[in-house]
Amino acid sequence: MRWSPRRRKRIARAAGYLVFALVIAVVVSAADWGRLSDAFFRLDIARSMFPGAITVALRNTIVYTLLAFVFGLTLGLILALMRLSSIPPYRWFATAYIELFRGLPALLVLFMVGYGVPLAFPDREIPGGVYGSVAVGLGLTAAAYMAETIRAGIQAVPRGQLEAARTLGMSHTRAMISIILPQAFRIVIPPLTNEIILLTKDTSLVYVLGVTATTIELTKFAGDTLNTRVNPTPLVVAGLLYLVITLPMSQLVRGLERRAGRER
């Protein structure tokens, strides 16, 4: 029997759906839902986490993220400009920095900042206590990634833009500030938003600095509750709260990319 190409395509697609549904059905029916919901979905335990989960843990997660992002973005911008500088030592430094910090685990850097800085500068401390240490500790790593993103953004602005600005009598610095960087940042807003999402999740490493009841963030908060209640439901709660931060941001990136697509 011969099927027409259209018929064949339809049958192939139906078969695909069937296999997909079957796999899901098998996994769902094979799992022991009773035990699973006892472990991960205990409403009473979940309820006991509030309002602290939001007023302290979620709040601190957001604050840590923003602080690290601002620190990382500032440093990243400086590094990107150094990387594109006509002065060789600046370029070498920026390249070395980026290679080093992209290659190190964020946990390690955070640890070094948390315990190395007090040793190196015994009479001084990073302002802001644990908040400051997190901003620096996570920001140092984020800066390396953001520097590369911003550099790519600057290089994506056509060369003619700088030439036009310079022929109008703008200095190189003025042209950068008024003409090149505004366009570069428009280009890199989507990847930078991704960087915030990654940072949000990296704040789960803050526990290595030793946090208190007021500086605790989501992961540590959930871990503590897990230990006292001997039940992993808090992890699910924490996971959902991370999504409360990250999902709207993904949505934002998508919106921005659509808008950028229209403008071009």
Partner 1 sequence: MSTIEIEGLHKSFGALEVLRGIDLAVEPGEVVCVIGPSGSGKSTLLRCVNLLEEPTAGTIRVAGVEVTDPDCDIDAVRRGIGMVFQQFNLFGHLTVRENVTIAQRRVLKRGRAEADRIAAENLRRVGLTEKAGAYPAQLSGGQQQRAAIARSLAMSPRLMLFDEPTSALDPELVGEVLAVMRALADEGMTMLVVTHEMAFAREVANRVVFMDAGVIVEQGPPAEVFGRPREERTREFLHRVLEPTRVRPGD
Residues forming the site for partner 1 (CB under 8 A): 158, 160-161, 163-171, 174, 178-179, 182-183, 186, 263-264
**Which residue, 162 or 249, is less far from partner 1 as judged by CB?**
162
Asked whether the beta carbons of 58 and 246 are under 8 A apart, the reply is: no
Q: How far apart are CA 60 and CA 215, in angstroms?
A: 6
**Which residue, 78 or 170, is less far from partner 1 as judged by CB?**
170
Nearest to 150 by CA among 77, 97, 74: 77
Q: How far is the CB of 183 from partner 1 (least distance, A)?
A: 5
Q: How far is the CB of 219 from partner 1 (least distance, A)?
A: 39
**Which residue, 127 or 158, is less far from partner 1 as judged by CB?**
158
Q: How far is the CB of 180 from partner 1 (least distance, A)?
A: 10
Q: How far is the CB of 150 from partner 1 (least distance, A)?
A: 16
Which residues neighbour 176 within 8 Å (Cβ) at sequence distance 6 or greater?
81
**Which residue, 170 or 198, is less far from partner 1 as judged by CB?**
170
Read off the tokens for 120.
Answer: 């190196």
Q: Which residue has the tokens 């997660």?
A: 61
**Considering Cα of 85, then 87, then 88, then 93, what sign does the dihedral take?**
negative
φ/ψ (deg, to 5) at 126: -65, 125
Side chain identity, residue 157: V
Q: How far is the CB of 165 from partner 1 (least distance, A)?
A: 8
**Which residue, 32 or 263, is less far from partner 1 as judged by CB?**
263
Read off the tokens for 166.
Answer: 């310079």
Work out the burial of residue 67: count CB atoms within 10 Å of its CB; fewer than 13 is exposed, 13-18 middle, 19 or more buried: buried
